[in-house]
Amino acid sequence: MKNGFLRYLAAFAAATILLGGATLVRAQGITSEQAQQILDELKAIRKTLEQRPIAPAPGQPQAQPQSDKVSMAFTPGGFSVGKDDAPLVLVEYTDYQCPFCQRFHTDAYAQLKTNYIDTGKLRFVSRDFPLDFHENARRSAVAARCAAEQGKYWELRHVMIVNASQLQPDKIVGYAQNASMDVDKFKTCIASDKYRAAIDKDVAEGTAAGVSGTPSFVLGRVENGKLEGVRLVGAMPYLQFEAKIKEMLAQPGKK
């Protein structure tokens, strides 16, 4: 029943974008290219849903609804900004080709960085969660890690997210060249695919935390090696992130 509703919702949303045309673009304040990205994303989601069974086979147990509460092992390191001892941690699971990840990055991330990350209240951690139906997502995740070898992770990450619909191999190499990277070294790193296991580890961690789409987040406190918090899903407006952050900051941490 749930999958059937999601199929209907995806189909309806896709039709709305397709039929709404310029009216939708004006109403939502997005460009025609961004609207097309969202339409393509919805088509891919619908295709994925159509490949899943609507209901479990006879005799199989029904899936239990998932809680938004998350308790997950948290390993220091990786790609993060903010103070290591910030009271809250926000772990992002992202796909560079995802237009909704692009929307979070352009609409909410800058304000989060200014108001909470740079002020020492929030540590932001980026994890990879490339979706199978995005042909350029995994390559982009590898590229970001290869850029990190040259101290350009955050710079290339920003460029790729902003250009989510332009992540073909030649485009990524062009972004690296514009960032004054050693292009030959960068291309060799990507071809080696040496970061496959690390990316798979991020995906496994996110899946264990209940992540199934991007962008998704886990916001909480690190206590005894675990991140205790809640899962947040989607490119929510900045004010929704802020409300949840304020709520958690007001709660005393465990001693």
Burial track 52-80 (b if 16+ CB lie within 10 A, e otherwise): eeeeeeeeeeeeeeeeeebebebeeeebb
| Same-domain pairing of 236 and 116 | yes
Cβ pair 137, 131 in contact under 8 A: yes
Q: In whole angstroms, give the CA distance from residue 150 to residue 35.
A: 34
State the average pLDDT over residues 158-162: 97
Same domain, 135 and 202: yes
Average pLDDT (154-160) is 98
How does strand 69-73 pair with strand 88-94? unpaired
User: Are 23 and 139 contained in the same domain?
Assistant: no
Instruction: Give 79's Cβ-side CA count (13 Å radius).
Output: 23
- pLDDT > 90: percent of the chain: 68
Residues forming a β-bridge with 93: 127, 216
- Give residue 35's pLDDT band: very low, low, confident or very high (50, 70, 90): low
Q: How confident is the model at residue 77 (pLDDT cuts 50, 70, 90)?
A: confident
Tell me the residue range of the domain where 29 lies.
2-50
Predicted confidence (pLDDT) at residue 252 exceeds the cutoff of 80: no
Residues 137 and 80 in one domain: yes
State how many domains the chain has: 2
Per-residue pLDDT at 36: 62
Is residue 255 situated within a structural domain? no
Output the pLDDT for position 41: 63
Residue with tokens 């709660």: 251
Of 41 and 120, the one with more pLDDT: 120
CA separation for the pair 40, 22 (Å, rounded): 17
- With cut-offs at 50, 70 and 90, classify the pLDDT of residue 50: very low
Q: Is there a single domain that holds both residue 126 and residue 164?
A: yes
Residues 111 and 207 in one domain: yes
Give strand pairing partners of 216. 93, 233
What confidence score (pLDDT) does residue 76 get?
75
Distance CA 218, CA 68 (A): 9
Query: 129 and 184 share a domain?
Result: yes
Residues 190 and 82 in one domain: yes
Q: What is the mean pLDDT of the chain?
A: 82
Q: What would the mean pLDDT of 49-65 be, rounded to a whole number?
A: 38
User: What is the DSSP annotation of 108-161?
Assistant: IIHHHIIIIITTTSEEEEEEE---TT-TTHHHHHHHHHHHHTTT-HHHHHHHHH
Distance of CA 196 to the CA centre of its chain: 18
Q: What is the pTM of this model?
A: 0.76
Q: Is residue 30 located within the same domain as residue 149?
A: no
Pair (79, 158) in one structural domain:
yes
